[in-house]
Structure 1
Amino acid sequence: MVFERKQKRRNLDGVDALDRISQLPEHIIHHILFLMPHKDAARTTVLSKSWKQVWNSLPRYDFTFCDGTYYDNSPAHFEKKIEKFVRSVDEDLLPLREHKTTIQIVQQFRLRMTLCHHKYASRIDNWIELANRNLMESLYLELTSMNKVGRYVLPKTTFFVESLAELTLKGCKVLGNYFGDDMIKSIYLRKLTLERVDVDYLTITKILRCCPLLEEFTQSNCCVKAKRVHINYAPKLKKAKLYGVKKIKIEAPNLEELYCRGDPGRLDSDSFACNNVKKLKISMFETSKLFEDLNSKFPLLETLDLQFYDSKLKISSDRLKSLSLLSPNKQLPMLQCNTVLIFHHFLFSIKN
């Protein structure tokens, strides 16, 4: 008899009693998702088709803000234009502020702005925090600081937003004390770009060490404290671009594309431990004997683009298909090439 009661309850109105939550109104399920940790909320898509439909029905936003202002030798007039721009951003973000109990998705948040006063840093903090609370997936910040105004410091919490997959910082600052030596918390980024960022070498190393999902990394013309680059834990890294650096050490087993431009610097045989590289571009570096045995350092290399300064250059490879050479010297160096090229592409440029 007990069994019959259970059976009757299960078939009540044709709905399984264990899945009654799926029959709730959509706005209530949205609120349930809002109260859940971001990572768990995203995982509900695998529960059933109805849950996936609810997730796909969530409001999605793309925000792009550019102040478009130019300094006209009038500080007061320029600041008025920036203040007007800031108010317009606040107005455009009203949909995120009004729905405080409903989960929303910010697919992209892009901001290009000139900082003419310290007070605007807190406004940017508020905008980013608001986007963070709404499952931000991509953040692009390009900030220019005027005289006597320090660079904008990115809030530490931004790195640990579980929904954030792409982060681009230009003209910002990242504090070293954000990341301790014993930090074990994961950063879920898949793409990271640091350009003209005030950050030190150890901080970048710690960030990369906590990014097990990172697939693309770009570091371009950061401050003097970041002239060294050491990537020692990047299991999924496939593409790396390093500009304005002096010393490199990369241990990335799945790296396929690597671009390096020195300041100038020197590359040695122990600079790389990445056997899956297929495309390699190097300029402004002393390469010494790095390319004499590409088979051992880059056994899968197919494309080599090289700007070199050595008077003698020896290249040996079994798989190389495309070779591009650029020499700034007035005289071409002595080139010894031991490779079978399917496509011959030699480019020599002599600069006066």
Structure 2
Amino acid sequence: MAPHRLRKKPRVPDATAAPAPAAASDALLSLPPEVLDEILTRVDLRDAVRTSALSRAWRRRWESLPSLDIDIRCDPKDGQQALWTVDCILPRCSGRVRRFRIWLDKLSARRLDDWLLFLSRRGGVEDLELSPEHPYKFFSLHSTIFSWHRLISIDLFACHIPPLPLDFVGFPDLKVLSLCNVKLQQNGEYQLEKIIGTSPLLEDLVLSELCIGEDEDEFIEWEIQAPNLRHITICSNIDCGWNYAELPCLNSAVIDLWQYVGDLDFAKFFAGLVQVRKLNLSMPYAPVNGIKIPETLPCTFHNLKILKLFMHFRELPPIFSLFCFLRSAPNLVKLKIQICDGEEQKIEANGEFLNAQWTDGMCANLQILKMTGINWLPNEMSFMKIVLSKARLLHTLSISHDDDCSVSHVDPLHELVTYGKASSQAQVLFQGKET
């Protein structure tokens, strides 16, 4: 008798199983084209290209996107791959490139001019960000970008900026301009003035470590004209001749003039920021060339609510600058002081000295004083004490000491907690070491 053969049960499809890739892609294709475009533009560029493997219908789907973002951070080990990616994608995509962000290595820096010229033929981009992989490897920018009238954001780091073409008319839609560690031609001050002045929608301006021409001892005075500017950052170890026109919409500013450089008119410079609500100011060094810190500024910062200072209490100039600002900011609510130098103090600014600096109305609205990186030096203690004794609306004194501080916090902290306070709500909070 022949043996019975075992029959296998027919497999019942699992309703919970994931659909096959082809079925999933077909389901996606049933979506409206504008929804598919939105999906592909939201994913990473390389992921969008990889959808070509889903099915035949998806093989060239990404090439017909109405807009494309190219955002490539070059890995030194993968520079050739990044170069291949841009070279292959730009000619194949029929839509416009909205965002072009590249970290340039040696290979891609050589191809940059070709890429920018290709993008020019497409009408330019809206968001341009270029920086070399090494901060001291400068690249040269092609002047074709000055014809990109759709630009909304420009972020350039470590590059040579060419002269403006004669037919330059400005960037009518530009909102963000960030120039860090860039080099401009001789008389580049006029170039910056024109770029900023012909960008009527500019809201965010960053000028950091600019180099203009070859002679850093000579500069041409120029004016920042930006009626819609909301935020400005200026960081420089030289005076690049900047002055301000009226900035009625200015909300915040970060200013780091390393040594109150050159022949800078301290009062005139800050008068241009009078509308600001938040000010972050670095002033740890003594003035050079005999610049005198005024007792008060020629204007009053009525809108200033938050002031952050990067300073120390070892010498008089930073202390004078501190009181100069406190006299000029009657509506200040929050004051943060980050101590940047914990070495032994060179002068004594005791309570009697600081009390002589205090004027009526100073810190009348101050509610929060935050001191970070302190070393419990006598001058630091004297300042905290006078604020406790004078600020009637103060409710928080927050303290953290420097990571390398060798002085015990127990006795000075007890001294502050038990010190006489002008505000019954004032409390002293110790946050430990600065993080």
Name the SS for the 2:258 alignment partner: strand
- Structure-2 change in CA distance of 1:146 and 1:232 (3 Å): closer
Between Structure 1 and Structure 2, how many residues are aligned?
272
Whether 2:340 is the aligned partner of 1:325: answer no
Amino acid at match of 2:332: L
Larger radius of gyration: 2
Deviations 1:206-247 (A, max 9, x none): 322322221111122333759778543111111001123433
Following superposition, the deviation at residue 268 of structure 1 comes to 0.9
Q: Indicate the SS of the match to 2:266.
A: coil
The reply on whether 1:187 has 2:187 as its aligned counterpart is no
Query: Which one-letter code corresponds to 2:85 in the other structure?
Result: S
Counterpart residue identity of residue 128, structure 2: L
Within the candidate set 136, 141, 144, 2:130 is matched to 141
C-alpha displacement of 1:339:
2.0
2 CA distance for matches of 1:322 and 1:126? Answer: 50
Aligned to 1:20: none
Matched, 1:249 2:243: yes
Q: Report what 1:218 is aligned to.
A: 206
Q: CA deviation at 1:263?
A: 2.8
1:105 aligns with 2:96: yes
Report the Cα distance in structure 1 between the residues aligned to 2:106 and 2:110, rounded to whole angstroms: 11
More contact order relative to length (CA 8 Å, sep ≥ 6): 1
Mapped to 2, the partners of 1:62 and 1:89 lie a distance apart of 11
1:305 paired to 2:313: no
Contact 2:248–2:275 under 8 Å retained in 1:
yes
CA distance, structure 2, for counterparts of residue 342 and residue 265 of structure 1:
27
Could you tell me which residue of structure 2 aligns to residue 47 of structure 1? none
Correspondence for 2:370 among 343, 346, 349: 346
Q: Structure 2: which amino acid aligns with 1:216?
A: D
Residue 173 of structure 1 corresponds to: 160
TM-fit CA distance, 1:318: 1.9
**Would the alpha carbon gap of residues 90 and 279 (structure 1) be closer, same or farther in structure 2, given more than 3 Å must change?**
same
**Deviation at 1:172?**
1.3
The residue type paired with residue 173 of structure 1 is H
Distance 1:172 1:341, change over 3 A: same
| Per-residue deviation, residues 254-309 of structure 1 (Å, max 9, x unmatched) | 22211011232256111132332111111136495457358x24221111112345
Question: Unaligned stretches of 5+ in structure 2?
Answer: 1-63, 312-316, 376-404, 406-435
Aligned residue in 2 for 1:89: 86
Q: Is the 8 A contact 1:323 1:346 kept in 2?
A: yes
For 2:318, what is the secondary structure of its paired residue?
A: coil
With over 3 angstroms needed to count, the CA separation of the structure-2 counterparts of 1:343 and 1:105, relative to structure 1, is farther
What residue is the counterpart of 1:25 in the other structure?
A: none
SS at match of 2:195: helix
Mapped partners of 2:237, 2:106: distance in 1: 27
Task: Calculate percent identity across the aligned residue pairs.
Answer: 21
Q: Distance in 2 between matches of 1:211 and 1:273?
A: 19
Residue 281 of structure 1 corresponds to 280
For 1:198 and 1:178, locate their aligned partners in 2 and report how far apart those are by CA, in whole Å: 14
Unmatched runs of 5 consecutive residues or more in structure 1:
1-56, 71-80
Alignment CA distance shift 1:127-1:241 (3 Å): same
CA contact (8 A) 2:68 2:97 kept: yes
Q: Superposed, which structure 2 residues align to 1:106-125 within 5 Å?
A: 106-115=97-106, 121=109, 123-125=111-113
8 Å Cα contact 1:208-1:231 kept in structure 2: no
Aligned pairs (5 A) from 1:142-161: 142-144=131-133, 151-161=138-148
Aligned match of 2:69: 62
Residue matched to 1:238: 230
- Amino acid of the residue matched to residue 280 of structure 1? L
Whether the aligned pair in 2 keeps the contact of 1:109 and 1:139 (CA below 8 Å) is yes
d(CA) in 2 for partners of 1:311 and 1:211? Answer: 38
Aligned to 1:270: 268
Structure 1 residues 225 and 290: CA distance shift in structure 2, 3 A: farther
Q: What amino acid sits opposite 2:268 in the alignment?
A: D
1:292 paired residue number? 296
CA contact (8 A) 1:115 1:145 kept: no
**1: CA distance, partners of 2:370 / 2:212:** 34
Q: Separation in 2 of the partners of 1:318 and 1:84?
A: 57
After the TM superposition, which of the residue ranges 83-92 and 232-241 deviates more from structure 2?
A: 83-92
1:18-72 residue CA offsets vs partner (Å, 9 max, x unmatched):
xxxxxxxxxxxxxxxxxxxxxxxxxxxxxxxxxxxxxxx97121111222015xx
Structure 1 residues 179 and 213: alpha-carbon distance in aligned structure 2, compared to 1, 3 A threshold:
farther
Q: Say whether 1:259 aligns with 2:244.
A: no
Alignment-mate amino acid for residue 185 of structure 1: V
Compared CA separation, residues 146 and 204, structure 1 to 2 (3 A):
closer
Shift of 1:144: 4.0
Q: Considering only aligned residues, what root-mean-square deviation do their CA atoms show, in Å?
A: 3.4
Instruction: Return 122-131 or 190-199, whichever deviates more.
Output: 122-131
Q: Give the C-alpha shift of residue 130 in structure 1.
A: 2.8
Letter in 2 for 1:254: C
Hey, what's the Cα distance between the residues in 2 that align with 1:302 and 1:230?
Answer: 29
Name the residue aligned to 2:184: 199
- TM-score, scaled relative to structure 1: 0.66
